[in-house]
Amino acid sequence: MVFVWFVLAAVVTVYAAMKLSSYADVISTKTAMGGLLVGTLLLAGATSLPEVTTSLSAVLIGNNDIAIGNVLGSNLFNVFILACFDLYYRKRKLFLQASNDHLYTAGLGLLLTLLVMTALILRLDFTIIGIGLDSLLIAIIYVVGIVVIGRISKNNQTVEPVESHEPIDKTASNFTMTVRHAVIGFIIAAIVIMGAGTVLSIMGDQIAVITGLGSSFIGSFLVAATTSLPEAVSVFVALRLKNINLAMGSILGSNIFNMLILAGSDVIYREGAIIASVSDSHLLTAIGVTVLSIIAIWAVLMKKATSTIKYMLPSILIVIVYFTTSYLIFINS
Domain ranges of the chain: 2-165+172-332
Tell me: the pLDDT tens digits for 9-68?
Answer: 878 877 887 787 778 777 777 776 655 666 666 777 777 777 787 788 778 877 788 788
CA pair distance 24, 71, nearest whole angstrom: 23
Lowest mean pLDDT among 87-96, 110-119, 141-150, 199-208: 199-208
* HSE-up of residue 251 (Cα within 13 Å, Cβ side): 32
- Which of 1-5, 91-95, 120-124 tops mean pLDDT? 120-124
Interior/surface letters 266-282, b for 16+ CB within 10 angstroms, e for the rest: bbbbeeebbbbbbbebb
CA–CA gap between residue 276 and residue 282 (Å, rounded): 11
Domain 2-165+172-332 class in CATH: mainly alpha
- pLDDT recorded at residue 167: 44
pLDDT value at 278 more than 60: yes
pLDDT per residue as tens digits for the range 104-157: 888 999 999 999 999 999 988 888 888 889 999 999 999 998 888 777 766 665
pLDDT of residue 162: 38
Of 83, 66, 82, the closest CA to residue 224 belongs to 66
| Distances in whole angstroms, Cα of residue 81 to Cα of each of 3, 182, 289, 315 | 24, 26, 13, 10
pLDDT of 67: 81
Cα separation, 332 vs 136, in Å, equals 29
Tell me, what's the pLDDT at 80? 92
pLDDT tier for residue 205 given thresholds of 50, 70 and 90: low
Report whether 282 contacts 120 (CB < 8 A): yes
Which residues sit opposite 132 in a β-bridge?
A: 127
Q: Is 99 helix (H, G, I), strand (E, B) or coil?
A: coil
Collapse the DSSP code of 131 into the 3-class scheme (helix H, G, I; strand E, B; otherwise coil) and give the result.
strand
**What confidence tens digit (pLDDT) does each residue in 235-271 have?**
887 787 777 877 888 888 889 988 998 888 898 888 8
Q: What percent of the chain has pLDDT over 90?
A: 16
Cα separation of 193 and 254, whole Å? 14
- Say if residues 220 and 282 touch (Cβ distance below 8 Å): yes
CA distance 129 to 136: 10
Output the pTM of the full model: 0.78
Say if residue 220's pLDDT is above 80. Answer: no
Residue 177 three-state SS? coil
Burial class (CB in 10 A: 0-12, 13-18, 19+), 83: buried
Between 113 and 196, name the one with better pLDDT: 113
What pLDDT, on a 0 to 100 scale, did the predictor assign at position 153?
Answer: 66
User: Tell me, what's the pLDDT at 148?
Assistant: 84
